[in-house]
Amino acid sequence: MARSAAYYRGVRGSAALATRAIAPVAAEALEPGELRRVPFEGELLGAVRVRASYAALPLEAFDRACEALEAEEQAAYLQLLRLAWGEGRNFCRAGKRDLMARLRLSERRLLRVLDALVARGFARPLHRDNRGTLWRVYLPREAFGEKVGDDVLLGRAGPAPVRAAPHARSAPERGGQDPATATPGALALARALARARGGDGPEVLAAAAREVRALLDEGQTPARIAASIEALRRRTARFARAEGAT
């Protein structure tokens, strides 16, 4: 028996499947968004909808990364994406022990995989302390030298935030207008952003209104801003539940 035949092992259950003429099963004929599951071969196939504890990742993170990454590199990249973009940020801090446990890799193999991600432009280490390494995690289009695009909402560029003194009154916006007196749509977004951050005081609302106004001035649509605020609200609620369980 040839060596290749001796080591060949098929996928369990696939040998019993006969290749048939092209004809979609009933589940494949369901319309997108049609919330039904239909029986097939002892299973119910059809729609699902994840309503909590999910990560909003562009499909290119799965579809384009495979063009440049080996299997272990793809696995490490997806874990970094989950820790970064899955939490609404383009960076994450991850320790070697955490990544080794997630990927079931030895330290030596993990370092080799991470080095490959850096060499291919999918990640970059920026800082290290006792909590782990701070990673900038790039989408595939960024790694390939392309623009992020309008389907990804990025936070506006600016200097590092400075905490205001307690009970300090926020300065009025340009032209003497207080940000809390913005248009009703912008004010509703600002209130939603303040609630998502767990605060409702005038200083928190004023800061949220300034951020909303800046995003609108940059051309971001209210719908996209609202979607980002909702993602922040879910993430904050998830962290609060996790802390309450400890």
Q: Helix, strand, coil proportions of the chain in percent (round to 5)?
A: 45, 10, 45
- Averages of pLDDT over each 10 residues, the chain, 246 residues: 64 76 80 86 87 86 91 96 93 95 96 96 94 94 91 81 52 46 75 82 82 78 83 76 63
Distance CA 72, CA 116 (A): 10
Largest CA distance in the chain: 86
Angle in degrees, 0-180, between the axes of helices 184-196 and 202-217, rounded to the nearest 10 = 120
Task: Check if the beta carbon of residue 191 is closer than 8 Å to that of residue 209.
Answer: no
What integer pLDDT is reported at residue 231 of this predicted model? Answer: 79
Domain spans, the chain: 60-143, 177-245
Nearest to 143 by CA among 88, 93, 81: 81
From the number of C-beta atoms within 10 Å of its C-beta (0-12, 13-18, 19+), residue 208 rates as: buried
pLDDT at 2: 58
Q: Three-class SS of residue 196? A: helix
pLDDT, tens digit, for every residue of 5-21?
566 677 787 777 777 77
Closest by Cα among 3, 46, 6 to 25: 46
Q: Residue 235's closest CA among 52, 65, 58?
A: 52
User: Which CATH number, 3.40.630.40, 1.10.10.10, 3.40.50.280, 3.90.1150.10, labels domain 60-143?
Assistant: 1.10.10.10
Phi then psi dihedrals of residue 91, to 5 deg? -145, 165
**Amino acid letter, residue 133:** T
Asked whether the beta carbons of 136 and 124 are under 8 A apart, the reply is yes
The pTM for the full model equals: 0.63
CA–CA separation, 197 and 191 (whole Å): 10
pLDDT tens-digit readout, 130-184: 999 999 999 999 999 999 888 888 887 877 766 555 444 444 444 444 544 457 7
Other CB atoms closer than 10 Å to residue 242's CB: what's the count?
9
Provide the pLDDT for residue 144.
Answer: 94
pLDDT of residue 118: 96
Q: What residues form DSSP beta bridges with 128?
A: 133
Round to whole Å and give the CA distance between 34 and 81.
Answer: 29
| Among 91, 80, 87, CA closest to 134 | 91
CB within 8 Å of 235: residues ≥ 6 apart: 87, 88
Coil, helix or strand at residue 93? strand
